[in-house]
Each structure stands twice: as structure tokens, then as C-alpha cells.
Amino acid sequence: MRGSSTNGPVLVGNTFSVSLIRRQVRICPAELETLKGLLAVRPVRSFWGHANTVQVANALLGVDVTPRTERPALTLTADGLPVLDGEVFSECYVLSPDYRPGFRPALGAEVHPDDIVGWQVLRIEWV
């Protein structure tokens, strides 16, 4: 099943490992309102990795982006497309936090929501 049609599921995470990019991609900033609009009309598939920020993202997006399993791992098809829970995607949205000035998360530590001052959206499209 492919999850990137105009009515298929939207793949969302808080980060995307560049080590999983094995073919050409197009990465572009996207508007938060665009992502919110998609999530209002299409199902969400989430690989959100940090439990402490998922509630903030849920409130921000207006939908629940809590993943089905804790810290799910994406896999790849033979041709390099991301797979989550058996669904194949050709696009993904990454919602990443902007931290307060001068803040850098400690290695291996969870970030407290008070350290987040905004959010950025990236759209990754496999071409």
C-alpha cells in the first residue's frame, strides 16, 4: 500500500535520519498550516520518537500523532522508499522544534516542552 496519494495517509515524524535516504529526494520547507490542512482530511501515520513532545505536537497540529508503537523504526523498500507498519510512502513531513536561544539538548536527554519556542516543517519527497 502506498501512502502518498492525495487521500492516502500522511507520514509524520519529529526527525528523519539522513542515513535512510538511499535515492534522490527533494526536501523543502513547508507551512505549518499546509501540514495541518492535510492532517485534517487524511489519516496520519506517525514515527514520532519523543514521548515528552508528542502531546505538544498533538495540540499544535490538532490531531493525534502518537505512534502506534513506542519509537517506531522506519524501514526501506528495495528501491529506497520509507515503510512504516507495512505501508510504503513517497513523501514525509518532519515537524522539528525550534529551541530557545542558546539551548542545545543534552546527548541522550529528552527535551522539555518549555525549551521549544516554535516549530519548523519540512516536506521530504522521494523522486
Task: Map out the domains of the chain with their CATH numbers.
Answer: 10-126 (3.40.50.11170)
Q: Which of 41, 16, 23 is nearest to 92 (CA)?
A: 16
Question: CA-CA distance, 65 to 120, in Å (whole number)?
Answer: 16
pLDDT digit string, tens, across residues 11-67: 999 999 999 999 999 999 999 999 999 999 999 999 998 777 888 899 999 999 999
29: enclosing H helix or E strand? strand 25-30
Q: Read off the pTM.
A: 0.87
4 or 28, which is more confident: 28
d(CA 127, CA 110): 33
Does the structure show a pLDDT above 80 at 7? no
With H, G, I as helix, E, B as strand and everything else as coil, classify residue 46: strand
pLDDT digits (tens, 9 = 90+) for 74-106: 999 999 999 999 999 999 999 988 888 888 878
Residue 5 pLDDT level (bands cut at 50, 70, 90): low
Is the predicted pLDDT of residue 2 greater than 80, yes or no?
no
Rounded CA-CA distance 48/1 in Å is 21
Question: What pLDDT sits at residue 109?
Answer: 73
Distance CA 117, CA 113 (A): 9
**C-alpha distances out from residue 49 to 66, 96, 113, Å:** 9, 11, 14
